[in-house]
Amino acid sequence: MRAIITVIGTDRVGIIAGVSTILSESNVNILDITQTIMQGFFTMIMVVDVSKSGINFEQLAGKLSAKGDDMGLKIKIQHEDLFKSMHRI
Amino acid sequence: MINPHEIFETITMISNENLDIRTITLGLSLRDCAHPDIDELCNRIYDKITGVARNLVKTGEDIEREYGIPIINKRIAVTPIAIVAESSKGDYVKVARAMERAAAELGINFIGGYSALVHKGYTSGDERLIKSIPEALATTDRVCSSVNIATTRAGINMDAVARMGKIIKKAAELTADKNSIACTKLVVFANAPDDNPFMAGAFHGIGEPECVINIGVSGPGVVHSALKKLGPEADFSEVAELIKKTAFKITRMGQLVATEASRRLGIPFGVVDLSLAPTPIIGDSVALILEEMGLEKCGAHGTIAALALLNDAVKKGGVMASSHVGGLSGAFIPVSEDVGMIEAVECGALSLEKLEAMTCVCSVGLDMIAVPGDTPDHTIAAIIADEAAIGVTNNKTTAVRIIPVYGKKEGDAVEFGGLLGRGVIMPVNRFSNKLFIERGGRIPAPIHSLRN
């Protein structure tokens, strides 16, 4: 299953390192990564493959969200189909 | 790949604009629970509901987590109890209590279907069920009741209309200490849909399968934000186009959750209900959408046109986004549950008469209207008759969920709590309709009911 990780907040050192450390520890593969400034917010988007993840989705979401809290950012992980269904026919 | 702007748009809708799935409603037939002994009937009902729906809440929560989309309510709608309990001897209130116990066991906040369909007349079961409604609603918290008193095909059962005026008053009286809250769980319908996922009017209709998953989406906040960005210069073609596109996106999410819930629960998908359902949360209001179109306050002249456009555009956008659309599918205007509506009533912009007119062009009808506690039962019945006439004549669903709040007078504030919101007691026309309501009988079906 593919999921989308979004990081929204103020740019700072160590965002990618922080997120990718959690992913690597959980055996989650990063397929694509992009970052941009949207409506004034730093936005990083990662497409990841969670099918071989060592922990369940809820635990992974919890770890990412906690990391976000530490760094003053909002970090979410959501099933890719949510975005596909909303924006693609 | 999905582009970052699209991802950002979805996330903003969810985190800032209150986009959510309002309800996953499991429709469940209880017809096979019938038994002459009412206690045995209650046991069967409890066992069936808690058996079939045992994973409903957990599945909803799993989907919520994986997709990052809030699913506010997980609910159950059952076969109208008047049908299920028809052959049972004893007090129907026991059935309501069994439904309450099942709902509590499953952790769901509302269970619908304490209902009767009497648009042409009563069976003995209908008669007993209707009589028991006030006590059933006063002694339970989660059970919702509805009575269908008219259809375009059958006309309006005016005996049932008169009766419901009395039932609503009685329900209000029995819950006098709780702002007559029993009335918030009772809907009187014309042309009730069989597959409506929204409470308090949800029941599992007689043509429905054994069980089914129906979804209600929300999203007034998303439409409001989109219109705000569009600005005041845009003309109505652009406004309609934008609402359509927004409704499409909202509904696609509903369809996704519906398909996923259906797959995980092993229960067939029924419909997505396209209704824009407001909540008392700031920024989740249908009234504010109408005001964004250029009205100073909801209720000002122009409100009906604005609502008609909104309702139509939501359907046009939503219908292509889902494989099956049903339920009520239109904009809801529940007064106490919509912060913009409450403000419009408080400042005198929105009256009961304007709300009646609004129900001609949108979903449902007079919803969550608080009126003085001393409003006579025949006046409440006459309000129901007017709404039923609008529904029957226009071939649409209308409903009345009215609360004659015991001991309260015009202008008093009333708090129902949670999603039911708060309100102000609205004035009611004081001229009598007693003789009109006492005539009884049936108002014949309109000529356009003969379509064959």
DSSP letters spanning B139-197: T-SSEEEEEEEEETTTEEEHHHHHHHHHHHHHHHHHTGGGTTGGGGGEEEEES--TT--
Bridge partners (DSSP) listed for residue B148: B117, B189
CATH architecture of B24-190: Alpha-Beta Barrel (3.20)
Look at residue A77 and give its three-state secondary structure: strand
Exposed e or buried b per residue across B306-330, where buried means at least 16 C-beta atoms within 10 angstroms of its C-beta: bbebbbbbbbbbbbebbeebbbbbb
Q: How far is A58 from chain B (nearest CA, A)?
A: 7
Widest CA span in chain B: 68
pLDDT, position B412: 94
**CB distance B65–A57 less than 8 Å?**
yes
**Portion 49-78 of A in contact with B at CB < 8 A:** 57-58, 61, 74, 76-78
Does residue A42 belong to the interface with chain B, where contact is any CB pair within 8 Å?
no
Question: How does DSSP classify residue B31?
Answer: G
CA distance B313 to chain A (A): 18
Instruction: Tell the burial category of B51 from Cβ atoms under 10 Å away from its Cβ (0-12, 13-18, 19+).
Output: exposed
| pLDDT over 80 at A40, yes or no | no
3-state secondary structure of A32: strand
- Determine the residue of chain B that is closest to A89 in CA distance: B321
- For residue range B344-402, list pLDDT tens digits in order: 999 999 999 999 999 999 878 899 999 999 999 999 999 999 999 999 999 999 999 99
Q: Which of A47, A82, A85 is nearest residue B1 as measured by Cβ atoms?
A: A47
Query: Chain B within 8 Å of A82 (Cβ-Cβ)?
Result: yes
Q: The complex's ipTM?
A: 0.89
Residue B1's pLDDT is what? Answer: 64
C-alpha span between B341 and B335 (Å, rounded): 5
Between CA B432 and CA B418 the distance in angstroms is 35
pLDDT at position B52: 97
Residues B149, B82: contact at Cβ < 8 Å?
no
What Å distances lie between residue B201 and B19, B53, B147, CA to CA?
22, 19, 9
pLDDT at B418 (0 to 100): 81
Task: Give me chain A's average pLDDT, please.
Answer: 91
For residue B17, give both structure tokens: 């604009």
Domains of chain A: 2-87 (3.30.70.260)
Q: What percentage of chain A reaches a pLDDT higher than 70?
A: 100
d(CA B33, CA B11): 44
Who among A58, A61, A85 is closest to B253 (CB)? A85
Q: What are the residue boundaries of the structural domains of chain B, listed by start?
A: 24-190
**DSSP E strands, B192-324:** 211-217, 269-273
Residue for token pair 């008759």: B385
Asked whether the beta carbons of residue A43 and residue B8 sit closer than 8 angstroms, the reply is yes
pLDDT band at B77; cut points 50, 70, 90: very high
pLDDT in tens, B120-139: 999 999 999 999 999 999 99
Contact yes or no for B68 and A78 at CB 8 A: yes
Residue of B6, B11, B252 with shortest CB distance to A76: B11
Shortest alpha-carbon distance between residue A6 and chain B (Å): 8
Chain A positions touching B249 (Cβ under 8 A) are 86-87
| Closest chain A CA to residue B11 | A6
- The C-alpha of A55 sits at a distance from chain B's nearest C-alpha, in angstroms, of 13
Average pLDDT for A20-25: 94
Kind and range of the H or E run holding B338: none
Note the pLDDT of residue B5. 86
Q: What whole-number percentage of chain B has pLDDT above 70?
A: 100
Pick A86's closest partner by Cβ from B1, B10, B65: B10
Closest CA to B187 of B423, B417, B399: B399
